[in-house]
Structure 1
Amino acid sequence: MGLGERRHEAGQEGPSLGGLETQVGFLLRLAQVAVFKDLIAELKPYDLRPTDFSVLVVIEATPGLKQQEIGEALRIQRPNVVTILDQLQARGLVLRGAVPGDRRSYALTLTPEGRALLIKARAAHARHDRKLSGVLAGLDKTVLIDALERIAAI
């Protein structure tokens, strides 16, 4: 049952979505809003946004990574990466170190405080992921992830 059918069945009035309810991009946007709403709530006690969490995860997984590489990997524009890293560094979660032979770049690592916070934030993310798994029960998660990766590669 689609969005328009659910609204009609529930007796709700409102504007017709004019066919948007059958469009992949529109439904991806609605899903993204719902997923982020829940993830934002889960990460709020740690004063992290989803992007902050992603940056910390990537730095932990690849210590010494340059900030431009994080931006490329997470598709974050350069000025935004700088702002995110400035904030994480100000909180004592990330260190910017020198890159041998490249005085214009910084190698990134987590501080002990950053690692400790990330452990807690990962538990919050796991709660969020369990909620999503419940919603997706009966669907093949690998097929869904493959489809999303294909769309992301456009």
Structure 2
Amino acid sequence: MNQTAAALDDDVIELGEMAGSLGFLLRIAQVQVFDEFYAALSVHGMKPGEFTVLWVIHLNPGLRQGTIARALHIKPAHMTKLVARLADAGYISRIIPTDDRRSVRLMLTSTGKAFVRKNRDDLINFHKAERSRLDDDEFEQFAALLRKFTGIAEARP
């Protein structure tokens, strides 16, 4: 075995400038949070984006599908598939207004409302658990910086 291979520590990987890359760090954080999401909430049979879309429709009934897609940065083709899955599962209904046949407005069905109501605490508790590596002040600062970076307004109480 050569000295270089023997000296390598597989537990420490040099990332160089990547450790200072916002995109890289956000991607690693996203993967970690999604892994935790699936571990905690996979019993519900939903992906993070599906939960998010249901939550947004819950808070904004009748909003246009395209408006939600733009706000959540979901590509139109992907949003169409996501909405079809949620509609097929009976969680949402698509409404085509008579005055604008090109738009689709989304509403929770009674099944969707019951799902959100029943699983709200699981989702909220998961979001609280996401903060476990940060103290309250660190989390508030981090969230404020991410809202600033993304242009997302502060959550209303």
What is the correspondence of 1:120-131 to structure 2 with a 5 Å cutoff? 120-131=118-129
Report what 2:34 is aligned to. Answer: 36
Report what 1:107 is aligned to. Answer: 105
Give the structure-1-normalised TM-score: 0.83
Q: SS state of the match for residue 16, structure 2?
A: coil
Matched, 1:82 2:74: no
Larger deviation: 91-100 or 115-124?
Answer: 115-124
Superposed CA RMSD in Å reads 1.8
For residues 14 and 79 of structure 2, the distance between their equivalents in structure 1, rounded to whole angstroms, comes to 39
In percent, how many aligned pairs have the same letter? Answer: 31
Relative to structure 1, the CA distance from residue 35 to residue 99 in structure 2 (aligned partners, 3 Å threshold; closer, same or farther) is same
CA offset at residue 62 of structure 1?
0.9
CA offset at residue 138 of structure 1?
4.7
CA offset at residue 12 of structure 1?
3.9
Please list the CA deviations of residues 72-112 of structure 1 after superposition, one character each: whole Å capped at 9, or x if unmatched: 11110100110000000000000011213011222110011
For residues 85 and 105 of structure 1, the distance between their equivalents in structure 2, rounded to whole angstroms, comes to 13
| Structure 1 residue ranges (4+ consecutive) displaced by more than 6 angstroms after TM superposition | none
Structure 2 gaps, min length 5 = 1-8, 152-157
Report what 1:56 is aligned to. Answer: 54
In 2, are the aligned partners of 1:21 and 1:27 still within 8 Å (CA)? yes
Structure 1 gaps, min length 5 = 1-10
For residues 150 and 87 of structure 1, the distance between their equivalents in structure 2, rounded to whole angstroms, comes to 32
CA offset at residue 38 of structure 1?
0.8
Q: Give the strand-richer structure, 1 or 2.
A: 1
Relative to structure 1, the CA distance from residue 81 to residue 47 in structure 2 (aligned partners, 3 Å threshold; closer, same or farther) is same
How many residue pairs are counted as aligned between the two chains? 143
Read off the aligned partner of 2:35 and give its amino acid letter.
K
Give the structure-2-normalised TM-score: 0.81
Report what 1:6 is aligned to. Answer: none
In 2, are the aligned partners of 1:43 and 1:121 still within 8 Å (CA)? no
For residues 138 and 89 of structure 1, the distance between their equivalents in structure 2, rounded to whole angstroms, comes to 38
Please list the CA deviations of residues 98-151 of structure 1 after superposition, one character each: whole Å capped at 9, or x if unmatched: 213011222110011111111233222222122223221253333211211222
